[in-house]
Chains A and B, each alone.
Chain A
Amino acid sequence: MIFDLTASVINGVLVGAIYGLAAIGLTLIFGVMNVINLMHGATIALGMFSLYLLTTAVGLNPYLAIVPVLLGGFVFGVLVYWIAVHRVIGSSDLMTLLATFAVNMIIIGVGTAVWTTSPYNVDVSVPQLAISMHGYTIPGTQIVAAVLAVILATLLYGLLYHTRLGKAIRAVANNRAAAELMGINTRWVLAISFGIGIAVAAGAGVLIATLFPFTILSGANYELKSFVVVVLGGLGDPAGAMLGGIVLGLIEGVTAPFVNVSWTPVIEFTLFVIILVLFPAGLLAFKWGRK
């Protein structure tokens, strides 16, 4: 019993780190420009399929594939920002939600035409890192993916808190008008932040794809999980998102031995709505930009 629980806890933390990384992409965009990015799931799915292409067509090592995916995701994000998002920044919530959802529909539509909705998977295994204990095995891929997620999140944290660009991003998140008056080109800061958010989401997609099979529609599920995580950690708070991800992973892991897996989403989303109503600033909020 105790080993059941220990295994579930470890498993939960490892998966949760990846949920956290995915959610950072979402929360960064919300924190900086007050946009809920409804193309988040499609971006995660694009990350998954980029990994598939890079490993099968180019023959790249799956973990090295993260670098080109991050770069590609950044460029893609900046492009999407200028084409679809910039015009609606500052207008009503409905407009920004719909603009990003329209891009989501286009990506999913093209993806479905190209890859259909059948499942794909990428063969990765790191047996030398696997940990076994009392009949439970934590696969090496899960450990590598979680470590990479934490490294990426730390790098992003460094970027936000220890570079000039990061300072500009935080300034814009805090007060765009004041930042503009201080000589910051806020239009480009917004575009770059959107690019970073998309890149991080695509990177999370790569890590997820090394663990589980995926379809072009898989992203939607992780998008919903990201919403839950972001609400746990406080909307717009990257550090909270990592912690929120781990909390969600733990909830999933710890409830797994006790309740049927199909009940997990009921618990998750009920919790989500309750927390949103009672603690709209998040349970674990660190506050890095005032709303």
Chain B
Amino acid sequence: MGSQVILKRPTFWIILLATLAFALVPALTGNLELRENLLLGAVYIILASNLNLMIGYTAYVNFGNIAFFGLGGYIGLYVVNVLGWSLWPACLIAGVVVSLLAFILGTGILRLRGAYFALATIGVNEAVKAFVTNFEPFGGASGMYLSFSSFNALGGARHALWLAYFAIVVLMGLSLWLSLAIKNSRFGLGLFAIREDEDAAMVLGVRTPRYKSLVYAISAFIPAVAGTLFFFKNGVILPDQAFDLTLSIEAIVMLMLGGQGTVIGVALGAFAYEQLRGFLLVSSTFSQFQLVVAGVLLLLIVLFLPEGFMGWVYRHLPRLRRVIE
């Protein structure tokens, strides 16, 4: 397995085209509203496809995935704001630190299985949120505000916002490539074995504890970097917003919608969910009932279409799965 195999996959080129479209359409038209819309779409795709590595590939339900995003945002903004470093090293530091923390934490909580693991991840998210709310260097409950001078290093606010947007779009493309590459690797096969039957996988020689910790740490890296960029672009980070358990669970809805375990499906699910959410929020009849509509949608998927949209497509067109995934 290796890069040649990946390059022959049509999905590789589909992802490249989608990433280019995300970057170029708003840049060429100068449409800021479209940019903000696509930004949120890209962030959702990043969150959902990295979570997919845990839920779709390994069958470990991580409810606290948003903690990576929030903590990444806090660490990145701290490096930019307080230490006065530039944005790019801040992104890298956020990603590496959060991944390392995830790896260490993972060796502990990944000994739990099923519902116990899911509960522990909720606990982790709440503990981190409560800690950050009290942690004075991170601004405590009132959060951190980016000083305006941080934008100057990147050529002024307008320029800096575009740069952050492009970087997030690149991360979106990288997330999808990562999903594809893992799926077609030995490591990915090990994860699938854990998903199907962990004990059998262990007996057959998959080093399950190491695989699980590793995938947990990997699934933390890009969301943490994206968190830095997103909150940098926002200019402010608050505990409730950074560790929003609802967004964590919405990410699960997205990957269910598109089909857990698929690469393209999860991206489509995240994008469709973002569009639906935007539509509901501005619609006069539904804005009150945005949560209700999302809840009914989720229930219908869980009850009647648990394999998600792409799962359903692949079931009816098995040849397509071989070509795309």
A93 and B61 in contact, given A108-B291, A277-B108 (Cβ under 8 angstroms): yes
Q: Is the beta-carbon distance between B119 and A113 smaller than 8 angstroms?
A: no
Asked whether, in the complex, the Cβ of A269 is within 8 Å of the Cβ of B292, the reply is: no
| Partner pick for A262 among B134, B253, B299, CB 8 A cutoff | B134
Contact of B292 among A110, A220, A265, A270 (CB under 8 A): A110
Tell me if B299 and A92 are in contact (CB < 8 A): no
B185 on the interface (CB 8 Å rule)?
Answer: no
CB nearest neighbor in A for B121: A273
Determine if A92 and B59 form an interchain contact, defined as CB atoms under 8 angstroms apart. Answer: yes
Residues of chain B with a CB closer than 8 A to A98's CB: 252-253, 256, 298, 302
Main secondary structure of the interface of A (DSSP, over half): helix
Min Cβ gap B318→A in Å is: 22
Give how many B residues have a beta carbon under 8 Å from the other chain's beta carbons: 44
B134 touches A84 (CB 8 A): no
Per the bound structure, the CA–CA distance linking A104 and B245 in Å amounts to: 13
Task: State the Cβ distance, A72 to closest chain B Cβ, in Å.
Answer: 20
Q: A101-B249, A273-B109 are in contact. Are A280 and B126 (CB under 8 A)?
A: no
- A223 vs B58: C-alpha distance when bound (angstroms): 27
Q: How far is the CB of B273 from chain A (nearest CB, A)?
A: 13
Nearest CB in chain A: distance from B191 CB, A: 15
Known: A101-B249, A260-B134. A106 touches B296 (CB 8 A): yes
Interface stretch of the complex, out of B16-24, B28-36, B73-81, B110-118:
B110-118
Known: A84-B303, A105-B292, A269-B127. A276 touches B120 (CB 8 A): yes
Contact of A272 with B127 at beta-carbon distance under 8 Å, contacts A88-B303, A112-B291 already known: yes
B10 interfacial by beta-carbon distance below 8 Å:
no
Interchain CB contact (< 8 A) of A95 among B120, B127, B133, B306: B306
Majority-rule SS of B interface residues: helix
> With an 8 A cutoff between CB atoms, is A227 at the interface?
yes
**Which B residues are in CB contact (< 8 Å) with A92?**
59
B126 with A265: CB separation less than 8 A: yes
Instruction: Please name all residues of chain A whose beta carbon is closer than 8 Å to the beta carbon of B149 when the two chains form the complex.
Output: none
Query: Given known contacts A95-B306, A112-B291, A273-B109, is B119 in contact with A231 (CB within 8 Å)?
Result: yes
Q: Is the CB of A266 within 8 A of B288?
A: no
| Contact A97:B295 (CB < 8 A) given known A109-B289, A109-B290, A265-B130 | no
Interface pair A266/B291, CB less than 8 Å apart: no
Instruction: Let me know if B294 is at the binding interface, CB within 8 A.
Output: yes
Contacts of B290 in A (CB 8 A): 109
Choice from B63, B118, B295 contacting A105 with Cβ under 8 Å? B295
B97 at the interface (CB under 8 A from A): no
Tell me how far the C-beta of A102 lies from the nearest C-beta in chain B, rounded to whole angstroms.
Answer: 4
* B-contact 0/1 string along A96-138, CB 8 Å cutoff: 0111011111101110110000000000000000000000000
A104 touches B295 (CB 8 A): yes
Say yes or no: B119 contacts A36, CB within 8 Å: yes
Once the chains are docked, how many angstroms separate the CA of A250 from the CA of B122?
Answer: 22
User: Which A residues lie at the B interface, using CB under 8 A?
Assistant: 30, 34, 36, 84, 87-88, 91-95, 97-99, 101-106, 108-110, 112-113, 220, 224, 227-228, 231, 235, 260, 262-263, 265-266, 268-270, 272-273, 276-277, 280
Other contacts beyond A108-B291, A110-B289, A220-B245: 4, CB < 8 A:
A265-B127, A266-B134, A268-B130, A269-B126
Q: Can you list 14 A-B pairs with a CB-CB distance of less than 8 A?
A: A84-B303, A91-B306, A99-B302, A102-B298, A106-B295, A108-B291, A109-B291, A112-B291, A224-B126, A227-B122, A228-B123, A235-B115, A235-B119, A269-B123
